[in-house]
Amino acid sequence: MQTVRFKGNAMEFKFIRCSVTPSLRGEFSRAQEAWNVTANSDGFLNQCGGWDAKTGDAVVLSSWTDSTSISKFMQKCHDKIEETSKQRETYKNCSISYLHDVLQIPAHDASPQSDAELIRIAFCDLRRNSTKRCENPLIRCMN
């Protein structure tokens, strides 16, 4: 996948979805607290998460400055946190996606450190050669 930068600095996102056994939601949430140390990792920006109202799945979205930072975290810290948290025992399956910042729509302060109250992530399947036709209306709308 190619990352295309339009404005600002590209960021990388890690999206995690876990199908949690309903009776173990509390244990999953407590185990999630072990991941707080991720905030000390180089390149880590922030994280948000919650429960998907439709599926009941746990979802977590973390943002990083770049893919190198995520790779270093995965190599040095991830397995130790996963092992000590015992979170794996609380869910049936887990899927992980790595997302790239492809288009930033201009705003007054689009820095990752701003006190944003909204993040919008759009998953779009586009026909070949239709990217500009999709992007241009979004950019005009947000300007």
Q: What is the token pair recorded at 25?
A: 């939601």
CB atoms within 10 A of CB 112: 14
Q: How far apart are the first and last CA of the chain?
A: 28
The model's confidence at residue 73, banded by pLDDT at 50, 70 and 90, is very high
d(C-alpha 87, C-alpha 91), whole Å: 7
d(C-alpha 68, C-alpha 96), whole Å: 17
Q: Give the chain's mean pLDDT.
A: 79
The model's confidence at residue 129, banded by pLDDT at 50, 70 and 90, is confident
d(C-alpha 14, C-alpha 35), whole Å: 14
Q: What are phi and psi of 41, to 5 degrees?
A: -80, 140
pLDDT value of position 9: 54
Whole-model pTM: value is 0.69
pLDDT in tens, 83-102: 999 999 999 999 999 887 66
d(C-alpha 17, C-alpha 59), whole Å: 5
The model's confidence at residue 8, banded by pLDDT at 50, 70 and 90, is very low
- Reply yes or no on whether the pLDDT at 120 is more than 80: no
Q: Is 33 helix (H, G, I), strand (E, B) or coil?
A: helix
Q: Which of 17-31, 49-63, 70-84, 123-137 has the lowest mean pLDDT?
A: 123-137
- Closest to 91 measured CA to CA, from 11, 29, 10, 6: 29
Task: Quote the percentage of the chain above a pLDDT of 90.
Answer: 48
pLDDT value of position 106: 58
d(C-alpha 70, C-alpha 74), whole Å: 6
CB atoms within 10 A of CB 22: 7
